[in-house]
Structure 1
Amino acid sequence: MPQPEAFMCCSFSMPRFEDIEPMVDIFGAMRRNGTIPNCVWMTSLIETLCISGRREDFWKGEGPIPDWRADELQEQMGVGHWLARWGLYGSRRIVQAQFDQIQEVVQKAAPTGTLTGHMYTGQTEGGLVDAASVPLEHGAMLVGVPSLWSLPLIDWPLPRNSKGKAAHGDYAPVIPSSGKAVLEWMQVSKPIYQAAGIELMGDFFMHERHVLLMNMFTYDQQDPVQRQRVHELYLALHEESKKRGYGMYRAHVNHMDLIADLNDFNNHAYNRLVEKIKDAIDPNGILAPGKQGIWPNRFRHLRDKV
């Protein structure tokens, strides 16, 4: 993208867990009709808390934060249960027109939501936006400036006096851009998280017809009980994904064969195709054998053993 004349950091939040359904449908429609020409990132209340502190800062009890306490924290912090963020880029008049149209849509379709927009322009008439001048809370990845602002997220489960070592992972299904489908997935995911002693930590990226969903989880990698719980959480989410025919956006190397097995249409026709290509261009199986679940012929017998 060329450096624009104007940039607007936009956000929209809604207060209830179930509000994710209308949010996905509203923003999905605006992605498809071009009102919002860029990816929309949606995050949950727990991820907002993770950036602000650790679990023990908000909840002194055992296990994950209960819903009643999460509601209290949401009210105290003045935030929504779900937060959508995106950027608008171009000339000032076009960006403002896009924002005005978005405002009209959400006021009619989601009147309990809160919309914000912060405009940044060049310092001179017709000048271009200096990405480095945009405050971190409004810019960062939206203007192509790298940062580590989300890194504290992985420390969420560790007490401040802990000698543990934080780690994180995710289960990342590709889901149709449907409010009903996304809400149903969140409703299915939540008890699986609770059984593992973890809060539902979900965010996703909205494209025109699909969303890339991140079921995040953080844990102490030196605690064998926590490691086993997140392993069971991952497998439980995978079983639910299989029932719905969802593919995967990404996976840890330990799970690549598991994820490749989701490509089961027509007796795993896709997997057989890419394995034929693999054998043709890398007959000795030298290049990254097994990566993405694609095994060369001479190592194919190891697939279920690794």
Structure 2
Amino acid sequence: MTSTDDRPDTAAHTSGDLETALARWREALGPEHVITDDESLADFADPYAPASFGYRAKVVVQPGSVEDVQAVVRIASETGVPIWTSSQGRNYGYGGSAPLDPDTVVVNLRRMNRVLEINEELAYVVVEPGVSFRELYDAVQASGKKLWVDVPDLSWGSVVGNTLEHGNGFTLYYDHAAAECGMEVVLADGSVVRTGTGAMSGSKTWHLSKRGFGPRTDSLFMQSNMGIVTKMGVWVMPQPDAYKDCQIKVRRDSDLEALVEAFRPFLVDGTVGNCPILFPALTALPNGLPRSAVWDKKSSVPRELAEGMMWEAARIGAWNIRFALYGDRQTVERDFERISAAFASIPDAEVTGNTIDPAEAKLDSPALADQKSRVMAGVPDLSMLQVLNWHGTNGGHISFASTVPLKGEDVRNIVELVSTREAEHGIDYTVGIMLYQRFAIHVALMLYNVGNEPQVKEVYELYRDLVVEAAEMGYGEYRAHPAFMDLVAEQFDHNDHSHMAMVEKIKDALDPAGILAPGKQGIWPARLRTAEKQAK
């Protein structure tokens, strides 16, 4: 079995002059923005990894402006000290702020927290990387403009950071990478570039048109280590005339394929325009209950037990889909009737809907009954954190997130692979399957007690096995914790990894000193590439 830590020797990463860099950063940013004390640094560790795993920073610097970022990057380049960027640093389940190498300095952008523009007429906002989803929501509400901000399940994260990691929410603008329009980026040499039509001075369409003249380069700065994004335009959703929170439930596990097949046409043709979530009964169990109240054995919770409990307690089916309909009221009701009729052929299937006045879609509104009704209306929420209590008060997780075709057969394949392999290790199968227009992302929350290091190691080792096993079935991961970035990248192996070879050429051109986030997404600079491969 592969070790939980197969990172290259950290000495190879930190050949730079750290003491000189620290002195210069203190002078450039102010000493209070160069963090080296253990108490403050704890906020930038991976809270879901045991301390012995080493996913924590030893130094954090916090620039407050674009000019500060330029200074940080130039000093890093001149001293040879590698840096790892985080926005809010709340990307928990995927490592948070923690760098791949603990000797890499974290550049955290929380101080850059301005909402620069809210445009109601053209429905977009412009934000800095330190702005969280909750902060953007509050700013839009304070402005009085009738716009909905798309939010993920947890609203404490950065709008920019989540977008750069291909995160998603649940309204019509759920695909955050697709909703991005126009970036400002600081490159490794400290120069500033603007993407799209922002490359033209005085452009009036920077955050309106995604295409400029020539190649579109925005994606180069997503899930990569090519530059540091300091501003971003994001398209948001005008408040609709009507909002209907809908659910589909089937009583039998064997109905999963039929459920997916019946629902897919409404995604492909755009009838359902948001990002629905497909989940089994067991996924709902940890929301408020400790595992000890459900199952006192080391083996995984039986599927039949979870199905019986959740049907009796909350009429949650063996498999369930939550989705939303938006638009004018007549169209919403007509679409709901069409969708309901499509499930008449599945015995005991239930399709229900709750029409909510969009004007009531606000924080603490009684009209929004639960977490999903809130996030599908763009209302921030943190209640899903309670799932971490499943294994006690020191809970954590990593997310195993595979992309599969939106077909019943493929959804069943990934469900059976992950649930069967987890059961072999006594891990409970808690999953949310995000339904995009033509594919799905199977996000398995692999829950554990952070204080139980053997349990965490077992989860990490299973994760490694699953990455390879899923790839053999044609299913790749869309996102990964730093511990697994190299392994995930290795699975994208067409033509002897020709795509990675191309990306490495771009990396070497933009960052010849190799100081920006070495190893992120499996992308290593030339100076470390040979050593990294030898270490593996």
TM-score by length of 2: 0.53
Kindly tell me: are residues 302 and 153 of structure 1, through their superposed partners in 2, closer, same or farther at Cα, counting changes over 3 Å? farther
Q: Hey, what does 1:83 align to over in structure 2?
A: 320
Which digits, 9 at most, give the CA deviation of each residue in 1:78-128, with x for residues without a partner? 3201111111111111111111111111223x2421111011225xxxxx5
Q: How many pairs align? A: 295
Q: Are 2:517 and 1:280 equivalent residues in the alignment? A: no
Question: Is this contact kept in 1: 2:325–2:332, CA < 8 A?
Answer: yes
For residue 141 of structure 1, the aligned residue among 375, 378, 387 is 375
Q: Are 2:403 and 1:166 equivalent residues in the alignment? A: no
For residue 485 of structure 2, the aligned residue among 256, 263, 283 is 256
Question: Is this contact kept in 2: 1:5–1:129, CA < 8 A?
Answer: no
Q: What CA distance in whole angstroms lies between the structure 2 residues aligned with 1:14 and 1:237?
A: 28
Give the letter for the 1:80 counterpart: G
Question: Is this contact kept in 2: 1:131–1:139, CA < 8 A?
Answer: no
Give the letter for the 1:38 counterpart: N
Give the letter for the 1:257 counterpart: D
Q: Secondary structure at the match of 1:27?
A: helix
Deviates more, 1:222-231 or 1:255-264: 222-231
Q: Hey, what does 1:220 align to over in structure 2?
A: 449
Q: What CA distance in whole angstroms lies between the structure 2 residues aligned with 1:288 and 1:29?
A: 41
Q: Hey, what does 1:97 align to over in structure 2?
A: 334
Q: Hey, what does 1:64 align to over in structure 2?
A: 300
**Larger RCO, structure (CA 8 Å, separation 6 or more):** 1
Give the letter for the 2:455 counterpart: Q
For residue 40 of structure 1, the aligned residue among 276, 279, 288 is 276
Deviation at 1:61, TM superposition (A): 3.3
Q: Hey, what does 1:49 align to over in structure 2?
A: 285
Question: Is this contact kept in 2: 1:8–1:117, CA < 8 A?
Answer: yes
Q: Hey, what does 2:391 align to over in structure 1?
A: 157
Q: What CA distance in whole angstroms lies between the structure 1 residues aligned with 2:308 and 2:353?
A: 26
Q: Hey, what does 1:125 align to over in structure 2?
A: none
For residue 495 of structure 2, the aligned residue among 266, 272, 280 is 266
Q: What CA distance in whole angstroms lies between the structure 1 residues aligned with 2:303 and 2:404?
A: 25
Q: What CA distance in whole angstroms lies between the structure 1 residues aligned with 2:373 and 2:419?
A: 31
Q: Are 2:350 and 1:114 equivalent residues in the alignment? A: yes
Give the letter for the 1:139 counterpart: S
Which of the pair has more CA radius of gyration?
Answer: 2
For residue 7 of structure 1, the aligned residue among 221, 236, 243 is 243
Deviates more, 1:266-275 or 1:63-72: 63-72
Q: What CA distance in whole angstroms lies between the structure 1 residues aligned with 2:317 and 2:361?
A: 30
Which digits, 9 at most, give the CA deviation of each residue in 1:209-259, with x for residues without a partner? 110111211101111221122022212211211211222111001111111
Question: Is this contact kept in 2: 1:11–1:84, CA < 8 A?
Answer: yes
What is the RMSD of the two structures over their aligned residues, measured on CA atoms?
1.8
Deviation at 1:66, TM superposition (A): 2.3
Q: Hey, what does 1:291 align to over in structure 2?
A: 520
Question: Is this contact kept in 1: 2:257–2:409, CA < 8 A?
Answer: yes
Q: Hey, what does 1:204 align to over in structure 2?
A: 433
Q: Hey, what does 2:532 align to over in structure 1?
A: 303
Q: What CA distance in whole angstroms lies between the structure 2 residues aligned with 1:297 and 1:227?
A: 33
Q: What CA distance in whole angstroms lies between the structure 2 residues aligned with 1:18 and 1:246?
A: 22
Question: Is this contact kept in 1: 2:256–2:412, CA < 8 A?
Answer: yes
Question: Is this contact kept in 2: 1:42–1:82, CA < 8 A?
Answer: yes
Q: Secondary structure at the match of 1:156?
A: helix
Q: What CA distance in whole angstroms lies between the structure 2 residues aligned with 1:148 and 1:219?
A: 19
Q: Secondary structure at the match of 1:203?
A: strand
Give the letter for the 1:115 counterpart: V
User: Any gaps of 5 or more consecutive residues in structure 2?
Assistant: 1-236
Deviation at 1:68, TM superposition (A): 4.1
Q: Secondary structure at the match of 2:348?
A: coil
Deviation at 1:64, TM superposition (A): 1.9
Identity of aligned residues (%): 32
Q: What CA distance in whole angstroms lies between the structure 1 residues aligned with 2:378 and 2:369?
A: 11
Give the letter for the 2:529 counterpart: R
Question: Is this contact kept in 2: 1:7–1:121, CA < 8 A?
Answer: yes
Give the letter for the 1:116 counterpart: T
Which digits, 9 at most, give the CA deviation of each residue in 1:35-72, with x for residues without a partner? 21222111221111111311111123342222442343
Q: Hey, what does 1:161 align to over in structure 2?
A: none
Q: Hey, what does 1:193 align to over in structure 2?
A: 422
User: Any gaps of 5 or more consecutive residues in structure 1?
Assistant: 123-127, 159-163
Give the letter for the 1:83 counterpart: N
Deviation at 1:136, TM superposition (A): 4.1
